[in-house]
Every structure is written in structure tokens, then in C-alpha cells.
Amino acid sequence: MVDDDPDITTFISSCLQNDYHVKTSLHATDAWTLLEADGYDLIISDIMMPDIDGISFTRRIKADPNYSHIPIILLSAKTDNAIKVEGLSSGAEVFMEKPFSSIFLKAQIRSLLENRQTLLEAFNRSPLASYSSLVTNKSDEVFINKLNEEIEKHLSDENFSVESLIGVLGLSRSNLQRKLKGICGTTPGDYLRNYRLKKACKLLIESDMRINEVAYYVGFHSATYFTKVFIKTYNMTPKEFANNNK
């Protein structure tokens, strides 16, 4: 929660503290330091602040691949349409006018977080769903596309690992972990494995490759291990999946 009015930050913290872990800041520069030090699921920011205004802060967050996945609620005492349009155009998911009720704020937060969780659960149930369906802004789309391109280049290399991705993407392991957790709800290791499995699903129904050929093609060292991981993920064997979907 970022607002230069301590009464507001105290009020919002007291409203949310029973349901969420809340950290507060009185200006955007300090808030940025908090972002660099820890991971957050959502940001609430006032627009009118002395050092960096909330719209500029939002633009900076949405332009940074480390944090662009974090949903933002902007607050403002200004009610004209121009400021609302500017706020939403900067990348914020929600614009709320001051004064606001705590019940409405909680509903907005719950909606953002629960909708994201519902999307993730539906995605994880679908072997053929694309990771691009999870992105909500251009910065995240560019990030996911770059990530997928690198995995695709080394798809058959069983030694291609999370450490390999870190070296290519230029992110620290902790930032990559936060990023993928925010977008996909997974760890980097899970993302790499799931990408290979989803690619395998596509090959199983779109090609004439045998199961062992698919396993090696997507980077598994043995067909037996591939089948074991496939069953654990999708509750069916690769053969059953192919028969059900071809």
C-alpha cells in the first residue's frame, strides 16, 4: 500500500490485516525498494504523491519484467474521466475514487486474486492450454515469448535447466521465481517441465511419433520416466491421452 497520507495507509492496513499481509509506504521510491526486497501479490497506490506520482509508478512497474505481472489498484481523489483513463492506460487493473468503502476495496482485491487463481486452475487442468493465455500485459507477453523461445531451442537437451534459463534471461533466480509464480503459479523448474509436457501433448495428437520418440524429443532421458511424470500431471498415460484426443 503506497500513499503519502499516513491516515490512509493506517486505515487500509487495519481493514486488510486479518486477511492479508500488508506492507505500507509513504512514497513510491520507498515502495520500489520494498518491491526489490520481497515478493508481492498486489499493489494499492495513491495517484497524487510528492516524489513519484502513482501513474508514473504504475508505468514503471508495468515496464519492468521483474514486476509487470503484479496487479495494481490506483486510488485518487480526482474523479474526472481523464485521470481515470490515464490511470487505466498506465497499466493499472482497477481505478477507485476516494473516498471509498473498505467493503468495496476488499471486494476488488478478492476479485483480482480469485479470478487469477481460477484462471490458473483451469489452465493447469488443460494439457493443450498455451502459457500465453495467462499474460495480462505486453511486458509479460514479451517475457513469456522469450522464455518459451529459449526452451524451444533446447527442447531435446535433457541438461537444459533453470540455471540455463537464468543465464539467458538475465534475471536472478529469486526474481525469475517471483515472476513465474505471479504469472503462472509455478516455480521455474515446474514451468520448464510443464512446457515439455505440453509440447509432448501436442506431438502426441498432431504427429505420428511414438511415445518414446516424443519423450526424447521433449528432453526426457527415458520413456519410462516421461510416462511416470505424465501420469502424475494429467492422471492418464500418454497413450490414453493420444487415444482420447486424436
Alpha-carbon distance of 204 to 207, in angstroms, equals 6
Query: Does residue 220 contact residue 226 with C-beta atoms inside 8 Å?
Result: yes
Block residue for cell numbers 488443460: 126
Tens of pLDDT along 70-117? Answer: 999 999 988 888 989 999 999 999 999 988 889 999 999 999 998 888
User: Looking at residues 51-78, what average pLDDT do you find?
Assistant: 91
Q: What is the pLDDT of residue 172?
A: 83
Q: What is the pLDDT of residues 31-51, one digit of tens each?
A: 999 998 888 999 999 999 988
Reported pTM: 0.73
The three three-digit cell numbers of residue 58, written as one number: 504504475
User: CB neighbours (10 Å) of residue 87?
Assistant: 24
H-only helix segments in the chain: 6-16, 28-37, 54-63, 81-89, 102-125, 138-153, 162-169, 173-184, 188-206, 211-217, 223-234, 238-245
pLDDT reported for residue 136: 76
Buried b (16+ CB within 10 A) or exposed e, 163-183: eebbeebebeeebbbbbbbbb
pLDDT digits (tens, 9 = 90+) for 142-186: 888 899 999 999 999 999 989 888 888 877 888 888 888 888 888
